[in-house]
Amino acid sequence: MISSEIFKITRHRTPWAIAGMHLALTLIAPIYYVFKRPADEGDYLSTSIAVFGVSGLLFAAVLGAWFVGNEYRHGTLRRVLAVDARRGRLLATKAGLGLATWAASYVLVGLLGAGAAWLAATVNGDGVVTTMVLREAAGPALGALVTGAMAFALSTILRSDTYAMLGAVTVMIVLGPLAAGIPTVGDYTLYAVTLQLGDWMLDSSIQTPISVGAAAGTLMATLAVLGAGSARLFINRDV
Amino acid sequence: MKHAIEVTHLTKQYGNHVVVDDMTFTVPSGHVVGLIGPNGAGKTTTMKMLLGLVAPTGGDIDLLDVTVGSRNWGDALSRVGSMIEEPPIYRNLTARQNLEYQSLAVTGGVDDRSIAEILSLVDLADRADDRPKSYSLGMKQRLGIGISLIGQPELVILDEPANGLDPAGILEIRKLLRRLPDNGTTVLVSSHQLAEVQQACDQLVVLANGRMVTQGTTQGILAGRSAHRFDLIVAHADVEAAAKALSLAEIPVVTSDSGRITVEPAADTGGRDLNQLLVGAGVFAESISQATASLEEAFLDLVNEGVNS
């Protein structure tokens, strides 16, 4: 099962296209800075990280929704399940390989983006500020991971990659910020706790609305409920 | 193994709606068996239950001597090829890659020779390295059937494999299906193309309203439906006289077309009686033969009986 899923992922264009588009967007800032020098040396990396982070969140939603949703959309899941009926194992395999694919792609694009930023600075005779790079990148990475996981779970519930992707992005980018205005409850949404943990990773002395432990617990519990619910549906539902 | 599939009192209910109602039938090994019925008869749902894609509300299914859902069921499932509703094709992979992927999924490895054989069998060897996006509907159907043959399955379950095909495509699929039992493969195929089913399948299971109406050999079912019909061939000039004689004897005429008269006499009236009747009227028939109903006629009769029972 694992080898056939790896075969499918590596032969399909979608993961490569997503990584390629993510890289293309991440390279925009370094290329721009070659022609127009930034006001501050810190901008070389921080601007790249900002673009990398926002686009990474969107591409994580596309990739997360693709693994199962694409199979539902094209009717190929029936054949997969008619060959091997171990649905729980299939879902776990897809989730694990999805996470690995996302992580590999994210790290590779991040490194190439950082390399491009360093190259742009070198061309301009500047240096790059690297002291906060990992902290700056950690928050967006968490946001992308949560969005991708949500898209994956939604694709098994909605049986559609398109709706799952839109659903995950809507929850993280539209509903989350809107719900943040609701007293107390707004601090415990998936968006809010992800943002708080991202802020804490950037600066651990920062004052967050709820404790880091509560935010991490809420995040884990929400993802666990979403994951368990989607797995239960995937295993028991007629295809 | 006498039967590749044994279905006993199979039922599927969605809320109050019964889709498959206490269905019992068998699929003998080494045959091409047609599962036919009008829309909504429960063909696809039944096939999905055979493959474990849909959970039955009640009843039992034995697939290759293993009960569906039991512990060893996975072993049986790996010996079954299938195509349900649409060809399971990844459009961004080439035909060869699609087969390689399925080979990995079914057997755990890629056997290039076996894949080449399947490509040749489904007549896609020349287009093996093209993406199915550029394929015609018939080519996609053929690739879907090719996928179902990966791993030399003992049983192949195909849902409407000739759907949307032109006559040449239908002929190719028929030839392909007829060849499969030569290797010991049992085929269960559902189709609306009754003329094709008649030619491709040696056994039939007829469904209506979620119930099994009848099961048997294609010849047996057709013979059972046409035993009391006769085709009379008379000279064109004698048609009127023959019709008058038949009418006087109160023998119903089913069709009459350019000297060919199909009649449906009482059960105790045979060909010799019809000949005597015609001779008595001064008509010498060129031939009198027992008519064979087409599968369409037999199917409609059976379905009507099934609906009214």
Average pLDDT over all residues of chain A: 90
Structure tokens at A83: 């060959």
Render pLDDT for B189-215 as a digit per residue (tens, 0 to 9). 998 777 778 888 989 998 888 999 889
What's the CATH code, domain B230-290?
3.30.70.100
Q: List B residues 52-71 in contact with A (Cβ-Cβ < 8 A).
A: 52-55
Share above pLDDT 70 across residues of chain A, in percent, rounded to a whole number: 100
* Structure tokens belonging to residue B54: 């849909």
Statement: residue A104 has pLDDT above 80: yes
SS3 B268: coil
* Residue A130, pLDDT above cutoff 80: no
For B55, which of A7, A74, A238 is closest by C-beta distance? A238
Q: State how far Cα B220 lies from the chain centre.
A: 14
Chain B residues with CB-CB distance to A78 below 8 A: 48, 51, 53, 82, 84-85, 88
More confident residue, A127 or B282: B282
Looking at residue B225, its pLDDT comes to: 66
pLDDT digits (tens, 9 = 90+) for A132-164: 778 888 888 999 999 999 999 999 999 999 999
Give the mean pLDDT of B33-62: 92
Asked whether the predicted pLDDT for residue A205 surpasses 90, the reply is no
- Please name the member of A8, A74, A238 whose beta carbon is closest to the beta carbon of B91: A74
Would you kindly state where each structural domain of chain B is located, as residue ranges?
3-223, 230-290
CB B94 within 8 A of CB B129: yes
Chain B positions touching A75 (Cβ under 8 A) are: 85-86, 88
Dig out the tokens for B197 from the structure.
């089913």
H-type alpha helices, A75-211 = 77-83, 87-123, 133-158, 161-169, 176-179, 190-202
- pLDDT at residue B308 in the model: 64
Mean pLDDT of A168-184: 89
CB contact under 8 Å between B90 and A12, yes or no, is yes
Chain-chain contact of A4 with B104 (C-beta, under 8 angstroms):
yes
- Asked if residues A67 and A132 have their Cβ atoms less than 8 Å apart, the reply is no
Question: pLDDT band for position B309 (50/70/90)?
Answer: low
Three-state DSSP class for residue A205: coil
Q: Name the helix (H) or strand (E) containing B21.
A: strand B17-28
Size of interface A-B (CB pairs under 8 A): 79
Average pLDDT over residues A218-225: 94
Give the Cα separation of B154 and A153 in Å (integer): 36
Under DSSP, is residue B17 helix (H, G, I), strand (E, B) or coil? strand
Q: Cα–Cα distance between A70 and A54 in angstroms, integer?
A: 24
Minimum distance, in Å, between the CA of residue B146 and any CA atom of chain A: 13
Q: Token digits for B281?
A: 């009227």
Specify whether the CB–CB gap between B204 and B43 falls below 8 A: no
- Is B106 within 8 Å of chain A by CB? yes
Q: Which of B74, B86, B105 has the CB atom closest to A4's CB atom? A: B105
User: Tell me, what's the ipTM?
Assistant: 0.80
Which residue on chain B is closest to A6 by alpha carbon? B101
Q: Domain B3-223 class? A: alpha beta
Q: Does A78 touch chain B (CB under 8 A)?
A: yes
